[in-house]
Amino acid sequence: MREIARPDPAVCRALGTQGVATVHEAQGRTGLLASYMRPIYAGKSIAGPAVTVSSPPGDNWMIHVAVELCRPGDILVVAPTSPCEDGYFGDLLATSLQAHGVLALVIDAGVRDVATLKQMDFPVWSKAIYAQGTIKASLGSVNVPVICAAQLINAGDVVVADDDGVCVVRGSEAAKVAQAGAKRVAAEEDKRKRLASGELGMDIYKFREKLAALGLEYK
Closer residue to a copy of itself (CB): 8 or 36: 36
One-letter identity of residue 104: A
- Least distance to a copy of itself from the beta carbon of 168, Å? 11
Closer to a copy of itself at the Cβ: 8 or 15?
A: 15
CA dist list (Å): 73 to 16, 56, 70, 108, 210: 11, 26, 9, 20, 46
| Smaller CB separation from a copy of itself, 5 or 205 | 205
Shortest Cβ distance from residue 12 to a copy of itself (Å)?
18
The single-letter code of the amino acid at 12 is C
The residue among 49 and 58 lying less far from a copy of itself, judged by its C-beta, is 58
Question: Smallest distance, Å, CB 66 to a copy of itself?
Answer: 10
DSSP string, 141-165: EESS-EEETTEEE-TTPEEEEETTE
**Backbone dihedral angles phi then psi of residue 15, each to the nearest 5 degrees:** -65, -40
- Please state the closest distance from residue 192 (CB atom) to a copy of itself, in A: 5
